[in-house]
Structure 1
Amino acid sequence: MLFNNGKLNVRKLEKKDNYLLAKWLSDPKVLEFYEGRDNPFDLEKVNTEFYNPNDDVNGCIIEFEGVDIGYIQYYELDDETREKYGYSKNTEVIYGIDQFIGEPAYWNKGIGTILVHSMVEYLIIEKHADFVVMDPQVCNERALKCYEKCGFKKVKLLPKNELHEGEYRDCWLIEYRRE
């Protein structure tokens, strides 16, 4: 177990979780917000994308009340991403996170807010992050609302940052800085 916050647990991704990821990442409702409906994942693609031993991404499964409901990953920003975001001269410890709730029945229940808040706390306390960043699409208003509730602030617009459903979409670079 990576961490626990009441009914929410986050645990490290295991090989057996590949079936969950394939299920979630082939659901058009989930893909509308994560990866794109034109980019479904089968088991082979999940194994290639999420189980690369040379990858510095730490994948985790989100459990709520004992049910596996989603995925979250965290990673220290590499030089290329620091450059892209404008942090190349910054020597602080910066982590990025990405997540989705793969079970739509668990959407709009405040779980995302608990999750993001808990992960940020984990990264600051356990990984000594100076701040945490994300780059959600501008049009993902529900996610942005959640992140702002958790203390993230919009830093700058990233024009045409992410290919999603055949077009490059604008994203916000958002930060959570510890006080």
Structure 2
Amino acid sequence: MLFQNGRLKVRKLEDKDKYLLTKWLSDPRVLEFYEGRDKPFDFDMVQKVFYASEDDVGKCMVEFNGEKIGYIQFYKLDNKTKEDYGYVTENIYGIDQFIGEVDYWNRGIGTLLVSSMVDFLTSEKNADRVVMDPQVRNIRAIRCYEKCCFKKVKLLPKKELHEGVYEDCWLIEYHR
């Protein structure tokens, strides 16, 4: 287990989790803001992206009240990304997440998840900043992140190809 905060638990991804990832990443409601409805994942794609890649991403399962409900990942920003974003030498982490079980949306769990991950990264990984780049149109997520003390830093025009259109994103950061 990576950490626990009350009824929320975050742990490293296990092989058995690939079935739920496949379910979540083929649900159009989840894909509307994560990856895109034009790119549903099948079992092989989940295997390739989440299990076969040799990267330095901390890939984690999110549980709430003992139920697996979502996914979160964290990674240290490389020098190129830091430069692109206008940072210099600080210890900066990025995070990405989604709640795959839609019955758990709009219940404050995303806020608990993001704030708990920020606490973990600042205390355990000594992160100076934590950043994300949500699409500008993802108003619900941005409100959640602002509740967790993230601030908009700059607009990233046409940053992400999503459903055939390059979407504007916000670079947002938590700075301790």
* Cα shift readout 1:73-125 (whole Å, capped 9, x = no counterpart): 000001222122122xx111000000000000000000000000000000000
Number of corresponding residues: 176
TM-score, length basis structure 2: 0.98
Which residue is equivalent to 1:109? Answer: 107
**Runs (5+) with no aligned partner, structure 2:** none
Runs of 4+ more than 4 Å apart: none
Q: Provide the residue aligned with 1:66 in structure 2.
A: 66
Question: Could you tell me which amino acid in structure 2 is paired with residue 103 of structure 1?
Answer: E
SS at match of 2:160: strand
Among 119, 122, 129, the residue aligned to 1:121: 119
2:86 aligned partner, one-letter code:
G
SS at match of 2:126: coil
Following the alignment from structure 1 to structure 2, what is the Cα–Cα distance between the partners of residues 52 and 123?
25
Aligned-partner SS, 2:72: strand
Partner residue in 1 for 2:26: 26
Structure 1: unaligned runs, 5 residues or longer: none
Structure 1 partner of 2:13: 13
Match of residue 134 from structure 2: 136
RMSD: 0.8
Separation of aligned partners in 2, 1:32 and 1:120: 25
Tell me the amino acid that sits aligned with residue 153 of structure 2: V
Shift of 1:16: 1.2
How far apart in 2 are the matches of 1:143 and 1:150?
Answer: 11
Give 2:171's aligned residue. Answer: 173
> What is the aligned-residue identity percentage?
70
Q: How many angstroms does 1:53 deviate by?
A: 4.5
